[in-house]
Structure 1
Amino acid sequence: MDASNGSDENVLSFAHWVRDMLTLMRSGAPGMVPLFESSVPEPVDMLGDVIRNAFRDGFPDSYKSVFMRNNPDVSEHLAARYGVPEESILCTTGATTAVSMIYTALLSPGDRILVEAPGFDIFANMARDVGVEADFFRREAPGFGISVDGVLEALRPDTRMVVLTNLHNPSGAYVSDETLAALARALEERGVLMLLDEVYRDYLGSAGPGLDPRQHENVLRVSSLTKIFGLSTLRCGWIIAGQRILRRMRDYSERADFNVSRLSHCVAAEVLARAEMFDAWRNDMMATARPIAAAALEDMAGQGLIQTGVPLLGCTCFPQLTGVEDTRGLSQWLSAKHGVVVVPGECFGAPGYLRIGYGLPPARLTEGLSRLSRGLAEYRASGQKRHIA
């Protein structure tokens, strides 16, 4: 069900859209610019160097058993990075697996969760797969912030968990730790858990370490190397939570999953040992990309193609278009006519918006945004003739 108006008409599965778009790109003419990526590109050369150096003389010391436990080196590096105890960390096969484990271990059929809207559809879809119903609270454009009172007002008597992303997916907006802490305390008083998907948080260097699980026993924080370093190939995710919750998570993990990949998490440990290098690479790329994106979006707003006030904090943004509601059709038209791929707002329950991924090298990003601007202008002109705009 659509998060915004209770109708199925404006819902489009993100996974299905990606599948169809990748099929189109692989079978179509070369040269399309993908502005739908939701992380920096995979740093293949850097990863190759790490692997060659680590395995030059055989398996490194970080190649340790992960049977019914984390890779100890990964836990140590993550604990230092986020300022939490090692025993507050449970490693998983990516962030998506972490969410699935949380739902299965901590929720029961008939429970309800409260999910942000617009938002990533996987949170509600995965809940329904385990018999949990999803309700929604609004994050209003253009800032996409949250109101503690607004979230609390949207709770129902059988709400067991609130789910939100920080940085927000799709907009990249940031919610301060002070606001999140206030929400966590209010939810704890009501016996409600809070799941924070933080896969984009590291893109904002000033964000700080995040909520301390020792102070917020009802909070679960999820992230992975997929987004923060572009390393989906390692399938290394984690949950940060207090001891009471994590005991339940470990108990479920030991019954259902046993362990993560020993090899992948060995390489992840080697990457995390060199995290400063990967952080610097990501930060340098985004420091170059953000001014390019800001200038292009300002120009589009000046032409009246999009609304103003678009946050640019992570690697994605979510502008509202002027005079266009069917962004699914627009997305298909842009890819066919202008060779640029953007995610329609329908994938996030928000028709009339586009998610733009701008974590790309400068020349490619500039070309993609130029194509988008030209395409929007042409679409508006032709739409006026068809009385669409």
Structure 2
Amino acid sequence: MRLFASVPQLKTPAVPDEAREMARHPPAPHRDDAVFLPHVDAAALDVFARARDPRDPFELRDLWLGRVEHALGADALRPGLAERWRSARPLRTVDAEEVLGSRATVRMVKELFNWFFRDDLYGALRERSDVILSGGSVSEEVWGLPGALKQCVRYALDRDWYGYSDSRGRAAARSAVAGYENARIEEGGYDESEVAITMGGTAAISSLADLILTGPYGRPNDSGSRPPVLCAIPNYPPLVETSARRHPVRLVPLPSSGGRVSLAPLIEAIRPDTPMVLLQTAGNPTGAAVAEDELAALIRAAAPSCVVVLDECHEWLGPERRRSAARRSPHVVRVSSLSKAWSAPGLKVGWILADRRLVDEYHEYASTAFGGPPSFFYTVVEVLARMERWMAEGLVEPGAAECAEFEAGYRLRPDGLRAAYRSYRLERRAREESLRVVRAAAVAGLEDLPARVVPPLYSINATVQFPSFDDSYLCFRRLLHDTGVSVFPGVLTFCLGGGPVRVTTSRPWDDLALAFSRLGPGTSA
């Protein structure tokens, strides 16, 4: 049995002329100076002030939703929650620092996140959801896995490669990932001992939080206190919640402007005994990225005993850049997955890069907690990493040397590898080009609405603020009711003030065009 015995079938998504025409109109230059800052506004403070027990996240969730139901008036879905809000009265004074440092805040946002998907969008409101722009991932039916990687899945199935394996992943796959990452970072030098294959980004960060915060890093300091983990916001609720279940957490709002995130507040918040920092290197939902010089300053500011966890999953579909050597520091862990950049969230596959000692500790943790990652996808990871490395190095056509990188059991032939690499390069380039065009067209289409758009520099999401809404969950509910278009409330990324919502641009163009036509007259509260 031979890998790449046949030429992979090409899948190059076509971009409609309408989208290409809209993409030719770039964002207005003045918007680059606008600052986006997740913050806690007076309305959010009012929710905490009215709670009988501000430590109860479920009461806080119900008050937040009750306020939304009250504002919907005759269109309210749950009058009991609306009445609960109307009957509540302010009981105390609350400030933003209290909210940002509260365990209940993190759980409240996670429960709102659960409610959004379980009870609203795919629950009671499912029939209203005609156009879903709130998913946060690439439409895999339009921009799916390249044909060469699909062949790897079929090959693994035919070889019955789904047995037990090393809890860090197969050595060949880890070695391939190390080579790929060395091609993207200054002063490379990763080897397989510094790589572990994981079950996607969310599971990886949950495992890391458990490993780090229940071990020596999370122990009380000399005074007996437990200094908080610093979680930069905006952020993804499951990642913050998984840290807060194990250790005190403080949310740190980071401003962004012109596609760049400022790390100054996070650097200022770091203490000598801070156990862990959680940071997305490209923001969700803004698409703004950290600058390498500021990231290096953050890593230097963190003590060697502080683990800096970098969620790099959204750092794609933007300007190419070399990662700084600071990301290779012994107390840094980098997390990647196939969910976004390769349109495969359902495969639950990714990897971490870390110091060898931490990877060894992770091996013990993984072998105890869940055994190991899915061995079925090791060939996918190996081939993907090798071909991505070749592309980063500018390789046009693989030869005998590249063929020799794979073990003899694959029975690869140079002609088969050349055909697979050729198709992979074509698909990857066509995919990224079409996603960039659609993203630019979507931003232009949103700009034509009565809305303020934060143009993303990376990833597939855009942050939108409709001027009629000062509550993001109310914006979601009202737009869905009036237009059938679903957006993602900013509160679900810890934007606890104002009405910013997230729109995922990597959807079929027909869906985006339909959404724009409907949202025009349907954006008032």
User: TM-score when scaled to structure 2?
Assistant: 0.63
Matched, 1:236 2:349: yes
Q: Which residue in the other structure is 1:55 paired with?
A: 154
Q: Which residue in the other structure is 1:386 paired with?
A: none
Q: Which residue in the other structure is 1:353 paired with?
A: 500
- Counting only pairs closer than 5 Å after superposition, residues 156-171 of structure 1 correspond to structure 2 as 156=271, 158-171=273-286
- Counting only pairs closer than 5 Å after superposition, residues 50-199 of structure 1 correspond to structure 2 as 50-52=149-151, 55=154, 59-60=158-159, 66-83=165-182, 84-108=190-214, 110=226, 112-130=228-246, 132-143=247-258, 145-156=260-271, 158-188=273-303, 191-199=305-313
Paired residues of 1:3 and 1:117 also in contact (CA < 8 A):
no
Matched, 1:367 2:514: yes
- Counting only pairs closer than 5 Å after superposition, residues 23-42 of structure 1 correspond to structure 2 as 23-24=122-123, 27-28=126-127, 32-42=130-140
- Indicate which of 331, 340, 346 corresponds to 1:227: 340
Paired residues of 1:139 and 1:145 also in contact (CA < 8 A):
no
Query: Cα distance, 1:3 vs. partner?
Result: 6.9
Which shows bigger deviation, 166-175 or 306-315? Answer: 306-315
Q: Which residue in the other structure is 1:202 paired with?
A: 316
Query: Cα distance, 1:290 vs. partner?
Result: 2.1
Q: C-alpha distance in 2, partners of 1:21/1:139?
A: 29
Q: C-alpha distance in 1, partners of 2:156/2:443?
A: 47
What residue ranges of structure 1 are gaps of 5+ in the alignment?
384-389
Paired residues of 2:134 and 2:486 also in contact (CA < 8 A):
yes
Q: C-alpha distance in 1, partners of 2:321/2:160?
A: 32
Paired residues of 1:64 and 1:266 also in contact (CA < 8 A):
no
In 2 relative to 1, CA 56–161 (structure 1 residues): closer, same or farther, beyond 3 Å? closer
Q: C-alpha distance in 1, partners of 2:384/2:515?
A: 31
Q: Given residue 114 of structure 2, which amino acid in structure 1 is its aligned partner?
A: A
Which shows bigger deviation, 51-60 or 255-264? Answer: 51-60
Q: Report the 3-state secondary structure (helix = DSSP H, G, I; strand = E; otherwise coil) of the residue aligned with 1:228.
A: coil
Query: Cα distance, 1:232 vs. partner?
Result: 1.7
Query: Cα distance, 1:374 vs. partner?
Result: 3.2
Q: Which residue in the other structure is 1:340 paired with?
A: 485
- Counting only pairs closer than 5 Å after superposition, residues 280-319 of structure 1 correspond to structure 2 as 280-300=429-449, 305-307=450-452, 309-319=454-464
Query: Cα distance, 1:46 vs. partner?
Result: 4.6
Q: C-alpha distance in 2, partners of 1:243/1:129?
A: 26
Paired residues of 1:3 and 1:118 also in contact (CA < 8 A):
no
In 2 relative to 1, CA 53–123 (structure 1 residues): closer, same or farther, beyond 3 Å? closer
What residue ranges of structure 2 are gaps of 5+ in the alignment?
1-37, 49-59, 65-107, 183-189, 219-225, 389-423
Q: C-alpha distance in 1, partners of 2:317/2:324?
A: 13
Q: Between Structure 1 and Structure 2, how many residues are aligned?
A: 369
Query: Cα distance, 1:279 vs. partner?
Result: 3.2
Paired residues of 1:285 and 1:361 also in contact (CA < 8 A):
no
Which shows bigger deviation, 289-298 or 64-73? Answer: 64-73
Paired residues of 2:296 and 2:326 also in contact (CA < 8 A):
no
Q: Which residue in the other structure is 1:387 paired with?
A: none
Q: C-alpha distance in 2, partners of 1:142/1:58?
A: 47
Q: C-alpha distance in 2, partners of 1:135/1:54?
A: 42
Q: C-alpha distance in 2, partners of 1:244/1:94?
A: 21
Q: Given residue 503 of structure 2, which amino acid in structure 1 is its aligned partner?
A: I
In 2 relative to 1, CA 347–69 (structure 1 residues): closer, same or farther, beyond 3 Å? closer
Which shows bigger deviation, 138-147 or 282-291? Answer: 138-147
Q: C-alpha distance in 1, partners of 2:146/2:354?
A: 29
Q: Given residue 196 of structure 1, which amino acid in structure 2 is its aligned partner?
A: L
In 2 relative to 1, CA 56–260 (structure 1 residues): closer, same or farther, beyond 3 Å? closer
Paired residues of 1:173 and 1:312 also in contact (CA < 8 A):
yes
1:336-385 CA distance string (max 9 Å, x none): 22111100111122241001100123232222233333321xx2xxx4xx
Query: Cα distance, 1:313 vs. partner?
Result: 2.6
Q: Given residue 162 of structure 1, which amino acid in structure 2 is its aligned partner?
A: V
Paired residues of 1:106 and 1:248 also in contact (CA < 8 A):
no
Q: Given residue 509 of structure 2, which amino acid in structure 1 is its aligned partner?
A: P
1:84-125 CA distance string (max 9 Å, x none): 322221111111111111111111364521111222222321
Query: Cα distance, 1:69 vs. partner?
Result: 3.4
Q: C-alpha distance in 1, partners of 2:312/2:145?
A: 24
In 2 relative to 1, CA 338–308 (structure 1 residues): closer, same or farther, beyond 3 Å? closer
Q: Report the 3-state secondary structure (helix = DSSP H, G, I; strand = E; otherwise coil) of the residue aligned with 1:319.
A: strand
1:261-287 CA distance string (max 9 Å, x none): 111334444555555446324312312
User: Percent identity of the aligned residues?
Assistant: 24
Q: C-alpha distance in 1, partners of 2:113/2:156?
A: 43
Q: CA RMSD in A?
A: 3.1
Q: C-alpha distance in 1, partners of 2:292/2:163?
A: 35
Q: C-alpha distance in 2, partners of 1:288/1:54?
A: 29
Matched, 1:253 2:366: yes
User: TM-score when scaled to structure 1?
Assistant: 0.83
Q: C-alpha distance in 1, partners of 2:144/2:313?
A: 23
